[in-house]
């Protein structure tokens, strides 16, 4: 679908500088813009690309004044970032929606399927599963017994949802995700082997959750592993058994949360953070990349490093750490001088 500069300016309340009839059909970055695309300037360090981009339309701030000739049509708006989000949502809404039930899908007669659902090739839906209206199940998904999926949820290819799992409304589950596999529970025996501890609980995913590709959320030993409403998980994340993640918390790639830990609401957990078992993290906490969290973290606190330290303490420690090679050299020189002084004293 094509949009003119006049249409876009009308939607965003912007002002056109250039050709009001310029058309676009896709969105691109400012440094990679091609003819027929809309680009945007949200960071002034990329201003140079405004003058060289091949994009047909560029969104800029109302205060932007070009320092050289601009080939593209400009649309000046109050908040470029917010406007780009609105446009991306609008563009996404125009994309065709998958529909229909594949004849190659296997749907048990005891399963319940809502209206206007899409089920792709080789997807399996077991008995007693309940699928809400407008759910999309892409090819090769597995939906186990007694699974519930809320309306409007989109589940991409290869997702495996084990028995008893509940997925809420308007969730997005990306390819390769596994929901409800057994928690990592084993009891050591006297002969050095391990006895498997039965994992009898389930996984509950609340509404408006997005889970990135190849992430795993384990079922609880008893009760439930719970991902609260609005949580956004990146790719390659591991959530252990009986973990609870609070509402609107965001986690970047390769985070690992060990069993029975609790993460509060509105937290930011950066990439490769590891959280030990039975740890509680408070609301609105921020955990820096690669931090190792082995102790409780309070509300609004910041942690960096391994083992993790409070924000300012970590930065002070790191400032010293960077000087260690020079300090080591100074110590060696002082040792040599001390040795000479001792020899002279003798």
Alpha helices in 143-274 (DSSP H): none
DSSP letters spanning 104-165: T-EE-TT-EE-TT-EE-TT-EE-TT-EE-TT-EE-TT-EE-TT-EE-TT-EE-TT-EE-TT-
Gap between the Cα atoms of 128 and 140, Å rounded:
19
Q: Which helix (H) or strand (E) holds 12?
A: helix 5-12
CA dihedral 308, 310, 314, 315 (to 10 degrees): 150
Identify the three-state secondary structure at position 224.
Answer: strand
Axis crossing angle, helix 5-12 with helix 80-94, rounded to the nearest 10 = 120
Query: For residue 88, what are the CA distances in angstroms to 39, 82, 146, 267?
Result: 11, 10, 36, 25
Is 241 catalytic? The answer is yes
Structure tokens at 272: 């490769």
Name the catalytic one among 108, 174, 241, 315: 241
Instruction: Map tokens 């140079």 to a residue.
Output: 48
Q: Which two tokens stand for residue 43?
A: 């960071």
Please, what is the end-to-end C-alpha distance for the chain in angstroms?
Answer: 92
What is the number of alpha carbons within 13 Å of residue 104 lying toward its C-beta? Answer: 9
How far is Cα of residue 229 from the mean position of the Cα atoms in its chain? 14
Q: How far apart are alpha carbons 276 and 269 in whole angstroms?
A: 14
List helix spans (H) across 71-111: 80-94
Which residues are marked as active site? 241
């Amino acid at each position: 679908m094509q949009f003119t500069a006049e249409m876009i300016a009308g939607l965003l309340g912007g002002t056109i500088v250039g050709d009001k009839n310029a058309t676009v059909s896709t969105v691109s970055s400012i440094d990679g813009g091609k003819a027929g695309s809309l680009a945007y300037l949200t960071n002034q360090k990329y201003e140079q690309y405004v003058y060289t981009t091949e994009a047909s339309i560029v969104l800029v701030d109302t205060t932007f004044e070009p320092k050289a000739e601009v080939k593209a049509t400009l649309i000046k708006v109050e908040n470029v970032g917010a406007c780009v989000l609105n446009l991306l949502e609008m563009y996404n809404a125009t994309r065709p929606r998958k529909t229909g039930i594949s004849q190659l899908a296997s749907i048990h007669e005891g399963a319940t399927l809502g209206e206007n659902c899409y089920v792709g090739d080789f997807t399996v839906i077991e008995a007693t599963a309940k699928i809400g209206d407008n759910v999309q199940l892409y090819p090769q998904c597995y939906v186990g017994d007694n699974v519930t999926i809320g309306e409007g949820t989109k589940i991409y290819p290869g997702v495996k949802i084990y028995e008893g799992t509940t997925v809420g409304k308007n969730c997005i589950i990306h390819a390769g995700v596994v929901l409800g596999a057994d928690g990592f529970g084993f009891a050591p025996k006297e002969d050095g082997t391990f006895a498997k501890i039965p994992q009898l609980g389930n996984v509950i995913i609340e509404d408006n959750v997005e889970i990135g590709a190849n992430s795993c959320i384990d079922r609880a030993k008893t009760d439930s592993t719970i991902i609260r409403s609005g949580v956004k998980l990146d790719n390659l994340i591991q959530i252990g058994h009986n973990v609870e993640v609070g509402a609107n918390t965001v986690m970047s790639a390769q985070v690992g949360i060990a069993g029975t830990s609790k993460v509060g609401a509105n937290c930011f957990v950066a990439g490769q953070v590891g959280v030990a078992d039975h740890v509680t993290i408070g609301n609105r906490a921020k955990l820096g990349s690669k931090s190792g969290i082995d102790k409780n973290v309070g509300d609004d606190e910041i942690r960096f490093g391994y083992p993790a330290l409070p924000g300012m303490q970590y930065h002070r420690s790191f400032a010293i750490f960077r000087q260690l090679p020079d300090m080591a050299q100074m110590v060696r020189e002082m040792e040599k001088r001390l040795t000479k002084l001792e020899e002279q004293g003798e």
